[in-house]
Amino acid sequence: MSELSTLARPYAEAVFRLAQSESSAQDENDLAGWSSRVATLAVIVADPQVARLIADPSVSGERVAGLIIEVAGAGLGERGSNFVKVLAENGRLALLPEISVQFEALKAKAEGTLDATITSAQELTQSQIDELAAGLKARFNRAVNVQVVIDPDLIGGAVIAIGDQVMDGSVKGRLQRMAFALQG
């Protein structure tokens, strides 16, 4: 996993710098555009059939790149197509999902936002989500993008993950901490 991260980092940083340079040249933020492009490419290469083609040594990287560019469509643009070709030439197409993750982290840092995943035992109302987001914004003094995931195994409560920080307020988590304390 860390090897993938290491291999993907220079590509994610290069695309991020490209998106920023396009932003300043156009007086318009193209981070969102590149975010969409890279996410689309990541989804395409994650498809099992495309992944098999990428891994097949009898299929040229140029051919696979052409297929990916065709599937991605016109929204990819010339620079996006060139990016795919560079990845293909270097045998790095399979890194696109990790490149996407790292690009999003760089984008969030530049925009001063945090991504939070709230895993709840049950559906949350929009007001509950807004209240949690406001609390997280106040705690971290940054805008927070919230994604909600439902996991009935939590029994009750919620787990909030922001970066490498996890706040576990779930019933399951409390029971596990109690069991650990009783064993000690």
Question: Could you report the per-residue pLDDT of 10-21, keeping only the tens digit for each?
Answer: 999 999 999 988
Look at residue 23 in the predicted model and tell me its pLDDT: 53
pLDDT tens, position by position, 53-110: 999 999 999 999 999 999 999 999 999 999 999 999 999 999 999 999 999 989 988 8
Residue 17 to residues 10, 12, 13, 49, 131: CA-CA distances in angstroms?
A: 10, 9, 6, 31, 35
* Res 27 pLDDT > 50: no
Give the pLDDT confidence of 117-175 residue by residue, as tens digits. 999 999 999 999 999 999 999 998 889 999 999 999 988 889 999 877 899 988 888 88
Residue 40 phi/psi, 5-degree rounding, is: -60, -45
CATH of domain 2-108: 1.10.520.20
Q: H/E element holding 158?
A: strand 158-162
Q: What is the pLDDT of residue 125?
A: 93
For residues 41 and 68, the answer to whether their CB atoms sit within 8 Å is: yes
∠ CA(87), CA(90), CA(94), 5° rounding? 55
- Look up residue 61 and give its amino acid: G
* pLDDT of res. 28: 47
Domain positions in the chain? 2-108, 113-183
The pTM of the full predicted model, rounded to 2 decimals, is 0.70
Class of domain 113-183: alpha beta
Q: Quick one: the chain helix, strand, coil %, rounded to 5?
A: 70, 15, 15
Q: What is the pLDDT of residue 29?
A: 55
> Sheet holding 143-150: strands in order across?
143-150, 113-120, 158-162, 165-168
Among candidates 71, 19, 16, which has minimal Cα distance to 42?
Answer: 71
